[in-house]
Amino acid sequence: MEFILASASPRRKQLLSTIVSVYDIIPSDIDENKIKQTEKNPKELAKKLSYAKAYSVFENKYKENNEYTVVGSDTLVAYGNIILGKPHDKNDAIRMLKLLQGNSHEVYTGTTIIIKKEHSIIFKTAVNKSTVYFKNMSYHDICSYVDTEEPLDKAGAYAVQGVGKVYLKGFDGDYNSIVGLDTHMIKDTFERYNLI
């Protein structure tokens, strides 16, 4: 069985390596903005984006006869009804962190697994929801953190596993899902279909 991760994220690569040691990386080429324009519910958006990423890679390989499994994932940060993606620049990162500091917010990680095995195709999609609690941050704290550049390629402008963890009070939910991959769901699915 060939495993494919439809993402170039270093964090997702590291997490998938805890389940399978050998896999290919084929980043999805979907237009995320099209989906974001039509779906404003963060849970549904995480689900749709993970499915679209997995399906685009699956579809490109479909004509091949071999058996393979594609994993697609998307992680969103939502503060109330506001979905916070990756910041456009440092000012946008500051804006997001000003919203999050001293408050709690939700992290939604959508996961889609598509298995092509023997004469069947199996689709599994799930969304994991976690809650993250931020400490109070001064404007100086926020600017100092943004200057590390860690927030610039992270949804919500922070990394739970990086420098940003010093600004967190804690979380309710699954740590790996907050980082970016629902390893429990993936491992359970792989085991259920005898892939590992």
pLDDT in tens, 140-191: 999 999 999 999 989 999 999 999 999 999 999 999 999 999 999 999 999 9
pTM here is 0.93
**pLDDT tens for each residue of 71-101:** 999 999 999 889 998 999 999 999 999 999 9
For residue 1, CA distances in Å to 6, 17, 25, 66, 113 come to 16, 15, 15, 8, 14
The CATH number of the structural domain formed by 2-192 is 3.90.950.10
Helices 90-100, 139-147: crossing angle, 10 deg rounding: 140
Instruction: Give me the active site residues, please.
Output: 74
For residue 39, CA distances in Å to 44, 45, 61, 76, 178 come to 7, 6, 27, 13, 21
- What pLDDT is stored for residue 61 in this prediction? 81
Is 34:12 a contact under the CB 8 Å cutoff?
no
Is 118:69 a contact under the CB 8 Å cutoff?
no
**Domain ranges for the chain:** 2-192
- Give dist(CA 186, CA 77) in Å, integer: 21
